[in-house]
Amino acid sequence: MCGIVGYVGTQDAEPILVEGLRRLEYRGYDSAGLVTISNRRLHLRKQAGRIQDLARVLRDRPAPGDLGISHTRWATHGPANDINAHPHLGGDGTLAVVHNGVIENYAPLRRQLERDGYVFKSDTDTEVIAHLIDQNLRKSEPRETPSDWVEWTSHDLVEAVSTTLAQLKGTYGLAVVSARYPDMIVGARLGSPLVVGVGETGHFLASDPSALVGMADKVVYLQDYQLCVLTRNGWHILDQDRGRVEVALETIQWQESQTDKGNFEHYMLKEIYEQPEALENALRGRLNDADASAHFGGLNLDTQQIRRADRIILTACGTSYNAGLVGEYLIEEFARIPVEVEYASEFRYRNPPIDRNTIVLAITQSGETADTLAALRESKRKGHPTLALCNVVGSSIAREADGGVYLHAGPEIGVASTKAFTNQVAVLTMLALYLGRMRHLSSLQGTAMVRDLRALPDAVRRTLGCHETVRRIAERYCQVNNFLYLGRQYHYPVALEGALKLKEISYIHAEGYPAAEMKHGPIALVDEETPSVFLMPRGPIFDKVMSNLEEVKARGGPVIAIACEGDEEVAARADEVIYVPEVPEYLQPIISVVPLQLLAYHIALLRGCDVDKPRNLAKSVTVE
Ligand code: AGP
- pLDDT-derived band at 191, boundaries 50, 70, 90: confident
Average pLDDT over residues 66-83: 91
Closest by CA to 471, choosing from 609, 576, 610, is 576
The packing angle between helices 491-506 and 318-335, to 10°, is: 170
pLDDT at 113: 96
pLDDT of residue 511: 94
Counting ligand 1 atoms within 8 A of each CB, the residue from 325, 369, 503, 504 with the most, and so the one to mutate, is 369
Please check whether residue 30 is in contact with residue 15, taking contact to mean a CB–CB distance below 8 angstroms: no
**Alpha-carbon distance 589 to 581, whole Å?**
11
> What pLDDT is recorded for position 144?
57
Q: CB under 8 Å to 552, separation ≥6 — which residues? A: 484, 486, 518, 523, 526, 532, 534, 559
Per-residue pLDDT, 147:
52
Residue 436 — φ and ψ, nearest 5°? Answer: -65, -40
Among the listed residues 586, 585, 574, 490, the one whose alpha carbon sits nearest the alpha carbon of residue 539:
585
Per-residue pLDDT for 33 more than 60?
yes
Q: Is 160:168 a contact under the CB 8 Å cutoff?
A: no
Report the atom number in ligand 1 closest to the C-alpha of 372: 16
Strand partners, 220: 196
Q: How far apart are CA 489 and CA 265, in angstroms?
A: 35
Distance 455 CA to ligand 1 centre (A): 27
391 lines ligand 1 (CB under 6 A): no
Among 419, 621, 622, 624, residue to substitute to test ligand 1 (most atoms within 8 Å of Cβ)? 621
Cβ(374) – ligand 1 distance below 6 Å: no
Q: Does residue 149 register a pLDDT over 80?
A: no
Evaluate: CB of 372 within 6 angstroms of ligand 1. yes
HSE-CB at 41 with a 13 A cutoff on CA atoms is: 5
* Nearest Cα residue to atom 16 of ligand 1: 364
pLDDT-based confidence at residue 143 (cuts at 50, 70, 90): low
Q: What percent of the chain has pLDDT over 90?
A: 77
At position 211, the amino acid (one-letter code) is A
Asked if residue 413 has pLDDT above 60, the reply is yes
Tell me how far apart the alpha carbons of residues 25 and 443 are, in angstroms, rounded to a whole number: 48
Strand 293-294 versus strand 287-288 pairing type: antiparallel
Q: In the predicted model, what is the mean pLDDT of the chain?
A: 92
pLDDT band at 534 (very low <50, low <70, confident <90, very high): very high
Q: Check if 317 has its Cβ closer than 6 Å to any atom of ligand 1.
A: yes
**How many helices (H) and strands (E) are present in the chain, helices listed first?**
19, 27
Phi, psi (5° rounding) for residue 270? -60, -45
How far does residue 103's CA lie from ligand 1's centre (Å)?
23
Q: What is the pLDDT of residues 568-604, one digit of tens each?
A: 999 999 999 999 999 999 999 999 999 999 999 999 9
- Structure confidence at residue 257 (pLDDT): 65
Amino acid occupying residue 66:
D
Residue 170 pairs with which residues in a beta bridge? 103
Is the pTM of the predicted complex or chain greater than 0.85?
no
Q: Is the pLDDT of residue 411 over 80?
A: yes
Determine whether the shortest distance from the Cβ of 319 to ligand 1 is under 6 A: yes
Q: What is the pLDDT of residue 130?
A: 97
Q: Is 365 in the pocket of ligand 1 (CB under 6 A)?
A: yes
Alpha carbon of 35 to ligand 1 centroid (Å)? 31
Q: Is the peptide bond before 276 cis (omega within 30 degrees of 0)?
A: no
Of the given ranges (93-102, 114-123, 304-313), which has the lowest mean pLDDT?
304-313
DSSP per position, 211-268:
GGTTT-SEEEEPPTT-EEEE-SS-EEEE-TTS-EE----EE----GGGGS-TT-SSHH
pLDDT at 142 over 80: no
Nearest-CA residue for atom 6 of ligand 1: 318
Helices 588-606 and 419-437, packing angle to 10 deg: 170
Kindly report the number of other CB atoms within 10 A of residue 381's CB atom: 8
CA of 565 to the centre of ligand 1 (A): 31
pLDDT value at 482 more than 80: yes
Probe target for ligand 1 pocket from 315, 365, 412, 428, with the most ligand atoms within 8 Å of CB? 365
- Is the pLDDT assigned to residue 139 strictly greater than 80? yes
Could you give the 3-state DSSP secondary structure of residue 49? coil
E-assigned strand segments in 51-207: 67-73, 88-90, 95-100, 172-178, 181-190, 195-198, 202-206
Residue 256 is predicted with a pLDDT of: 67
Annotated catalytic sites, by residue?
Answer: 2, 619
Helix (H) / strand (E) element for 343: namely strand 339-343
pLDDT digit string, tens, across residues 246-291: 898 988 877 666 777 888 999 999 999 999 999 999 999 999 999 9
275 backbone φψ class: left, alpha, beta (φ>0; ψ -120 to 50): alpha
pLDDT at 240: 86
Q: What is the 3-state secondary structure (H, E, C) of 381-436?
A: HCCCCEEEEECCCCCHHHHHCCEEEECCCCCCCCCCCCHHHHHHHHHHHHHHHHHH
Q: How far away, in angstroms, is 194 Cα from ligand 1 center?
A: 19
- β 482-487/532-535 pair status: parallel
For the ranges 78-82, 232-236, 396-400, 493-497, the maximum mean pLDDT occurs at 493-497
Asked whether the beta carbons of 534 and 546 are under 8 A apart, the reply is: no
Distance 316 CA to ligand 1 centre (A): 9
